[in-house]
């Protein structure tokens, strides 16, 4: 993962890793979040929002004009989380191949995405 270090961020504390975001900026200016996760005991504390803010800032500095992420249809927590952060959520049929729909999140401005 050394090639994506600028946009892969880890939240650490004395008791270990509390969360992380793994993403990158595509050549066409999309800041793509491959995975974001916070530890069970850190959820609901604002850490996920904070990680997205840090990612949006890093992605912006590396040329991102928009943010994108995807999740499974049954990941209702992720869908609620991304909507709270200002993302559009659309179900895209066959996204992962025939019969495999995914929820696709978009936000035009990466910095807008971090506003409450
Ligand atoms: C999704 C995830 C990263 C959210 O992290 P978090 O640290 O709990 O998020 P925050 O505390 O910063 O929440 C930000 C906002 O989203 C809302 N939110 C977060 N999780 C939510 C949930 N499951 N249901 C409803 N709202 C949720 C919060 O209420 C908060 O809203 P507010 O600002 O109005 O109070 C975390 O639940 C997680 O790691 N899930 C498992 C991995 C995963 O599914 N990742 C996403 C797909 S790759």
Split the chain (116 residues) into runs of 10 and give each run's mean pLDDT. 88 98 96 98 97 96 96 98 97 98 89 53
Query: Which residue minimizes the CA distance to atom 9 of ligand 1?
Result: 48
d(C-alpha 113, C-alpha 53), whole Å: 8
pLDDT (0 to 100) of residue 2: 75
Superfamily of domain 2-114: Gcn5-related N-acetyltransferase (GNAT) (3.40.630.30)
pLDDT at 3: 84
Measured in Å, residue 36 CA sits from the centre of ligand 1 at: 10
Containing 8, the helix (H) or strand (E) segment is strand 8-13
Residue nearest ligand 1's atom 16 by CA: 81
Task: Tell how far the Cα of 38 is from the centroid of ligand 1, in angstroms.
Answer: 8
- Give the binding-site residues of ligand 1, using a 6 Å CB cut-off: 35-38, 42-49, 71, 75, 77-78, 80-81, 84, 116
Nearest one of 83, 84, 49 to 104, comparing CA atoms: 83
Q: What is the DSSP string of 43-80?
A: TTTTHHHHHHHHHHHHHHHTT-SEEEEEE-TT-HHHHH
């Amino acid at each position: 993962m050394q090639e994506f270090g600028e946009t892969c961020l880890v939240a650490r504390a004395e008791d270990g890793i509390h969360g992380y975001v793994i993403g990158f900026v595509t050549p066409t200016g999309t800041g793509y979040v491959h995975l974001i996760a916070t530890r069970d005991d850190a959820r609901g504390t604002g850490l996920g929002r904070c990680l997205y803010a840090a990612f949006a800032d890093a992605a912006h500095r590396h040329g991102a004009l928009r943010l994108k992420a995807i999740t499974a249809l049954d990941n209702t927590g992720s869908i609620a989380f991304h909507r709270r952060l200002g993302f559009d959520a659309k179900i895209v049929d066959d996204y992962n191949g025939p019969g495999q729909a995914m929820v696709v999140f978009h936000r035009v401005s990466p910095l807008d995405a971090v506003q409450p």
